[in-house]
Structure 1
């Protein structure tokens, strides 16, 4: 299958934005949600789902549903092992450093584990306890385990039922589905992990984004697949809405909180719940990216360093977590603890390391491969 370098570059861009957002520097706030009230996390999940739908539906067409299911499970296992390795790094090296220098930023992040090390360790490996920053991959694993069944059903019966069910679950998530299930788990199983320690992302809401991307990717392999096309009026509306969201985000007095201190209204744009207006903002940006993105990418020089990071998205993502946790343990979470030149040096060192990880992964994959082999498959 042809490899789309544009998608690799976009995923690399999402990784860059996530790294800048998570590292405590003066660029954290200005480059957080840079295009409106949408973060790099939405783009990364949507692109990953699109690639998964593209790749694994092709496996199903060529080798059957069983092969597709096994490929999903192998990927889920790889992601789980990456999560487990990152957790071990957090619970050993980062914990030791933060306790030795009495670093509040990490001690707050690890408050449940420090108070309950045995339960914290066990339930983190069970993907129930999810410390801050380490709550994206468990959600990703959850989606990967569900995807083969959903994809097989959709390829046989169509996507309408799948997307209606997914939208229904998203709607229920806006009204407390996760909290209700948590209360049942506490009541009948005695779950000891507090709700706020189970990850900031509401997976029941974010699954809508994942299955939308899965549908979009799988649809490209359908026998009668047509290019995505949008009427002119919709492009005009999307452009106006995207510009308004961009202006509101960067020139409004409230920054990343669109309605300031109004908690109820801010839920409409809430990241963790994937609020309805946040989805609207993402949709209009997606329409513009699909329509104008390919032409734009052809007119600029290829950014090979972004492509390399996008190709090795999982190792680079884990490496970015290691870098962020290390910085938090050593310097704390203050965004102004260093002068400007210190932030520049820090970002330069981190991104050099991430690019080094990407190139190392590429070198490792190329060992023993025939010339041009890696140019063929598009892997998630």
Structure 2
């Protein structure tokens, strides 16, 4: 069993932390709109809207980061994509994904059975069994596109469906197409198809957001970024600063354009978002040096998977308290900091005391060398 020796990148953790921050405030902002609170007396409305209405875009940042990291680890462990150890690859995905996924589904089913508000599945055509099967088969996005939105705790699993279907195919593509010259062009074509695959879906808002191909295009961009980084090496300091500046500018443009960017390029704005994410992951440092004043965001990034799966418990709880105390209107802005802190704390606890121990235990068991499991002669 080989072990990863890649140093943890504070830049990647920072980007993941910023992404999960946007996801948390987005789901709170849908229920306590920041621009409809007294915060609008102090800050421009376009700034407040940009802060709370980019959760979907933040998920695409996660997709790019995911493709980048997975590819880098495959290159480190197996030397090249065409020589990927597909059995070990799948075992590592199971060890990382399964514990939290199964735990979340169990808690959501218990909440449904107890009739907890915001957790009951009661729309026509939906059922706890249907939601569970779709979550476990990574088709929850298809299920929602066919039946309507699920409760928020379930709904977050749409992105996992996109990601894991990509990774189910990834080793097989590497072992076949990776042995030819067509892998990179195929990945590039998938990236460039993002605006067109989104624009082609006009009759189903849910499926337009959650279809497989656009998200896979973002993951493919991360794969290409990792391949470019492996071929060219770590950019020099000046190049890293230039890439980071371009990436930040692209993200700011997408988040705070106030609608004019959409009117100018329509679905093409997704390529700007993906390009900005690529620039930032390529610019991430390798030496483990901390990015000043961002330790809290980096900490959120280290537990981003756990925060992503569990943050709706915090959001629903705080929104309920805000409405009971009549602080959901003018004073709604007061709930944002507690929501972020509590989501971070919950995700951190789940990571430290459940998902990481389960991940390590499963890896030890699943990746045990054959000689260690063979019966004694």
TM-score, normalised on structure 2? 0.65
Q: Contact 1:135–1:201 at 8 Å: present in 2 too?
A: yes
Tell me the equivalent position of 1:376.
Answer: none
Question: Structure 1's 210 and 318: CA in aligned 2 closer, same or farther, altered over 3 A?
Answer: same
Distance 1:49 1:225 in 2: 18
Aligned to 1:148: 171
Task: State the 1:213 CA deviation.
Answer: 0.4
Q: CA deviation at 1:283?
A: 1.7
Work out whether 1:353 is the aligned partner of 2:346.
yes
Match runs of 1:265-304 below 5 Å: 268-269=265-266, 275-284=267-276, 286-287=278-279, 290=282, 294=285, 300-301=291-292, 303-304=294-295
**Alpha-carbon distance, 1:360 to partner:** 3.8
Q: 2:147 is matched with which residue?
A: none
Which residue in the other structure is 2:77 paired with?
59
Whether 1:129 and 2:148 are equivalent positions in the alignment is: no
Match of 1:176 in 2: 200
Would the alpha carbon gap of residues 340 and 125 (structure 1) be closer, same or farther in structure 2, given more than 3 Å must change?
A: same
- Post-superposition CA distance 1:119-173 (Å, at most 9, x none): 4444444324243333111111111112112333464324433224424754652
**1-side partners of 2:97 and 2:62: how far apart?**
15
- Return closer, same or farther for 1:299/1:241 CA change in 2, 3 Å cut-off: closer
Supply the distance in 1 between the matched residues of 2:289 and 2:130 (Cα, whole angstroms): 52
CA 81–32 in structure 1, closer or farther in 2 if over 3 Å, else same = farther
C-alpha contact (below 8 Å) 2:225/2:282 kept by paired residues? no
Counterpart mapping for 1:11-160 below 5 A: 11-24=16-29, 25=32, 27=34, 30=47, 33-34=50-51, 39-61=57-79, 65=83, 67-76=85-94, 78-80=96-98, 82-93=100-111, 96-99=114-117, 110-112=121-123, 116-126=127-137, 127=139, 128-130=142-144, 131=150, 132-153=155-176, 155-158=178-181, 159-160=183-184
Instruction: Count residues in correspondence.
Output: 327
Task: Determine which of 205, 209, 223 is the counterpart of 1:214.
Answer: 223
**Separation in 2 of the partners of 1:9 and 1:35?**
19
- Segments of 5+ residues of structure 1 without an aligned counterpart are 180-194, 260-264, 270-274, 369-380
| TM-superposed deviation, 1:93 | 0.9
Aligned to 1:225: 232
TM-score with structure 1 length normalisation?
0.65
CA distance in 1, matches of 2:216, 2:9: 26
Separation of aligned partners in 1, 2:73 and 2:246: 34
Aligned to 2:6, the other structure's residue is in SS state: coil
Counterparts of 2:355 and 2:127 in 1: how far apart (Å)?
A: 40
Q: Distance in 1 between matches of 2:81 and 2:196?
A: 36
2:190 maps to which of 160, 166, 191? 166
* 1:14 CA displacement: 1.8
Q: Which moved more, 1:354-363 or 1:43-52?
A: 354-363
Q: For the residues of structure 1 that align with 2:255 and 2:65, how far apart are their CA atoms? A: 23
Contact 1:166–1:207, Cα closer than 8 Å, also in 2 = yes
Q: Say yes or no: does 1:4 pair with 2:8.
A: yes
The residue aligned with 2:214 is 205
SS of the equivalent of 1:2 reads: coil
1:91-119 CA distances to partner (integer Å, 9 max, x unpaired)? 431574544xxx6xx66xx4537854554
Q: Indicate how the Cα distance of structure 1 residues 305 and 203 shifts in structure 2: closer, same or farther if over 3 A, else same.
A: same
